[in-house]
Amino acid sequence: MALSRRTFSALTGSAALGLALGGSGGTGAPSAYAARSAPTGPAPAPPRADGGHHTIGYDRYSLLVDGRRLVLWSGELHPFRLPSPSLWRDVLQKMRAHGYNAVSIYVAWNYHSPAPGTYDFSGVRDLDLFLRTAAETGLYVVLRPGPYINAEVDGGGFPGWLTATKGRARSADPTYLAHVDEWLTQVDRIAREHLFTQGTGTVLLYQIENEFDARVDSADSRAYMSHLYKKVRADGIDVPLFHNDKGRNGYWTPGSFDTGGERGGWLYGFDGYPSPSKTPPDWGRFGPGGATGGASASPATPGFVPEFGGGWFDPWGGSFYDGKGYAEARRTRDSAYERRFYLTNLANGITLHNVYMTFGGTSWGWLPAPVVYTSYDYGAAIDEARNVTEKIAPMHQLGHLLQRVPDFAKLDRAAGVHAEGLKVYHLTNPDTGAHVYVARNDGADPVTADLPTAEGRLRITVPGKDAKLLTTGLSLGRRTLKYATVQPAMCLRAGRQDVAVFTGRTGEMAELVLRCDTDPDVMRLDPEAAWGVDDSGLHVNAPLGQSGLIRVLVEKGDTDTPLLLLFADDATSARLFPYDTPSGTLLVYGPQLLRHVELRGSEVHLTGDVTDTTSVEVWGPRGISGLVWNGRKLATRVTMSGSLMTKEMLPGVPEVRLPALGGWRTRRENPEVGPGYDDSAWRVADKKASYSTSAVPEGQPVLFADDYGFHYGDVWYRGTFDDSSGVEEVALGYSTGTQGMLMAWLDGEPLGTHRMPVPDAATIRRGTWTDTASFPVRDALRSPGRHVLSVLVRRMQHDQDGKADDTHKAARGLTAAVFKGASRKVSWRIQGEGRPDPVRGPLNNGGLHGERAGWHLPGFRDGDWESVGFPRAERYQGVTWYRTTFRLAVPGDVDASVGLTLTDDPYRAYRAQIFLNGWNMGQYVNDVGPQHTFVLPNGVLRTRGENTLALAVLSEFTTLSGPGEVRLTLLGKAAGGLTAAKVVVS
């Protein structure tokens, strides 16, 4: 028996329907995108690089792929936030298994370009590999290469070197456009080899720019958007293009700028991040309409939300979630949030739906924008450690429903329906006559009410702050559903029988009625179910969640095709996996994840994950008689429902033991503070003018780090001057991102430390922080002769440029130095990061001496360093390094996710850069937080072998400094079918 994503038809023959090609690689092919209509019918086959040509059209309801309606159920994933390419496949497989049919990705310009004219798409930056992997996984790709992406990354994705160039960014300035064209040429060269239209990949849609809402009525902005459109088309990208409106502004709708005469190749999309404390908004059919009503701004194109909140980011200090971090984001934007908000979108005609984020990942190195710390977990359905959370259940249920029940791709608003205490949306499919109801409870308490439907009044209960999707008149294969009080999750053909799955909350009593003119034969395959037949039809009741999956088999009656009804609560439904093969579709029940299926003769070969003991049950094509799980043949029996089920339980996950961290060695750095330090190789800081948006103080040289080619991490300054006599105070102006800091020494003696304040509710989004650090000069430091002022600035990151005001060009580093009591002429030299790491890229390293000397790298000889233990308690201004090695011996068939946890007295003011095998995995700020655990991605982490861990600790002298406790933490484990390949380290 088989589950089919194309509910009522065969899988074959859907790839090419004899339609026009999807595009010719340039402008002037409007027929490739012309809006056309199509009746309700099977969805397209799962995408792959099949070598055939495909069309991508649309009407007001949905996309039309090869003439078939497609509801896009997409999740956002950023490859640059997971620097382990084999783990891309892991997350993509989890997305596909749990109902997503597309993945949306940003391509970050700064990640690939360390210098003008230099581009790197190798190793962890291999875009070609990611696009191939997505196609192999069976996911469409929504490609978003900017040039500006925002994304809470440094400079909004602009490369560091762009800060020191002339020309206004995000405009039609010719200098800026020349850089943009060079970037897009590099991306498009790869993208055009993966276009779904050409059968070479699964890139379905392509975004230009990102939330561009600056001066939209100006000729310059229109020319800018027109330039991007024509550039992408000239590069051979022939899929539909779009932009994501930052809100419901009606910006950049079709016809709002020149597309070179091409029509029908542009979609309007808008973003939305509503708060869970607010009522879900109507941004479509049930909304106010007009240019600012969301989808109504472009009535001829389908409702499209390129970004809809799947969580939310968290700032330094954790003020968004009261210091509780992303666990609180996941709690407040939970499964009920998803049902309320996403079902409201579906009711409003949003059939292109992308959840930002579905996997957030890690803003490792110097990748994060000032507004966020290292973790970008986002409270997403798949957490930063790649664990599938409880939030996956609604995504799984709705995703598979939208792929496998075609009625939802074409819905019209129907007559209003009232149910006391509930907000009800009523829609119908004009082709099939099916009715759809979304009943939403915006109150805190459960509501029980009578819901008027086309099949009479239904008594339903909706929990507080939750919603239900109900249907009447829905075809379940060869039979018809009159009504159900629970949501359909999928309906598909399995061998000779139809299979329909219904889901709801644990403890809920499912009530379902099938139309039947002739009494069927009904078999209760699990004792919890009950059934009866009367003049109104076949009634089935099942209590959800009492004993896993509940099965009821309906035979004969109105049709000779059996119907298997499956009832599942949320946790159970997330363990039901449909999978399409050339021989038919299978439905697999039991494991935590199904990665891949192959039919080899009569054997079904499955790969996937288990986290606890479980049976495996498979409905598949006729003739299957054996199951092989992750290479191991299983003993099976045939069940009354026609499935193959294992006779014995699969074992859970073996124990994973993590070692204690010890054997630490330490060494202080800061040679730069010594008066005799040789800085002759440093850059002379003597420029007089800058392209920065920050003003150069009168009478001062340009001290901004970016102007001297230092764009990431810490930067050192050494200012030489004669005669400190009479100098009472040194005032150092500096400019950083959030949580930047400055340390100063005079002739090797500490003057003090200054740091920017922790952001509060009013300053969370401030991307550039400026201040003046004033340090008194002691009498002992005042004398004639040569003196050296040494300054270390932790610059943090560049601001984003959300308003297109060149805010990414704001200065980073020192801005001015003033001596109180005596005026002195200072000769400045500056040193930041060295050459970009050829493996880890430009965002890995900053300008600390230890980084330039390779102290963070595996193989560095630290035998002469001092042996120490943790916890530490020192008072010191400057940088201290700690190194150790540890070995892991995770069983070979176990995917264990490991983190590094640091804890200490929260009063202690210090921070640490964490390096694993040379990779900068993030920044810990002990007294600010909220992050204390840092994910160490497999591949970078050797789960079977030796690892090198280094901490670069900046101590502020204001308090005792740690580190305190440093330990490895097991974040998740699964016995599974994917092994992470080692990421090259040198």
Catalytic residues: 211, 307
Cβ within 8 Å of residue 118, ≥6 positions away: none
For residue 741, say if its preceding peptide bond is cis, omega within 30 degrees of 0: no
Dihedral through CA 538, CA 543, CA 548, CA 551, nearest 10? -10
For the chain, how many residues are written? Answer: 986
Question: What is the layout of strands, in order, in the sheet containing 576-581?
Answer: 576-581, 584-589, 617-619, 644-646, 636-638
Tokens of 380: 């997403």
The label of the residue with tokens 């409003």 reads: 348
On whether the CB atoms of residues 740 and 795 are closer than 8 A, the answer is yes
Pairing of strands 456-462, 487-494: unpaired
Within 811-867, residue ranges assigned H as helices are 849-853
CA distances from 436 to 458, 490, 953 (A): 13, 15, 58
On whether the CB atoms of residues 52 and 79 are closer than 8 A, the answer is no
Closest by Cα among 518, 544, 517, 603 to 397: 544
* Distance between CA atoms of residues 614 and 612, nearest Å: 6
On whether the CB atoms of residues 412 and 59 are closer than 8 A, the answer is no
Closest by Cα among 791, 672, 795, 683 to 731: 791
Q: How far does Cα 364 stand from its chain's mean position?
A: 14
Angle at 514 between CA 510 and CA 516, to 5 degrees: 155
* Distance between CA atoms of residues 806 and 11, nearest Å: 51
- 509 φ, ψ (degrees, to nearest 5): -95, 115
Q: How far does Cα 596 stand from its chain's mean position?
A: 23
On whether the CB atoms of residues 781 and 769 are closer than 8 A, the answer is no
Transcribe 806-852 into DSSP letters: -GGGS--EEEEEEEESS----EEEEE---SPBTTTBTTS--S-HHHH
Q: How far does Cα 313 stand from its chain's mean position?
A: 11
- 161 φ, ψ (degrees, to nearest 5): -65, -20
Closest by Cα among 952, 933, 949, 942 to 983: 942
Residue environment code for 433-466, b if the CB has 16+ CB neighbours within 10 A, otherwise e: ebbbbbbbbbeeeebebebbbbbeebebbbbebb
* Distance between CA atoms of residues 916 and 885, nearest Å: 10
Cβ within 8 Å of residue 530, ≥6 positions away: 524, 540, 541, 542
* Distance between CA atoms of residues 965 and 329, nearest Å: 26
On whether the CB atoms of residues 724 and 782 are closer than 8 A, the answer is yes
Pairing of strands 617-619, 683-684: unpaired
For residue 750, say if its preceding peptide bond is cis, omega within 30 degrees of 0: no
Within 607-649, residue ranges assigned H as helices are none
CA distances from 654 to 296, 889, 891, 971, 976 (A): 54, 12, 8, 15, 11
Tokens of 224: 């800018």
Handedness of CA 683, 689, 694, 696 (dihedral sign): positive
Cβ within 8 Å of residue 940, ≥6 positions away: 83, 84, 916, 917, 919, 921, 983
Tokens of 703: 């001290």
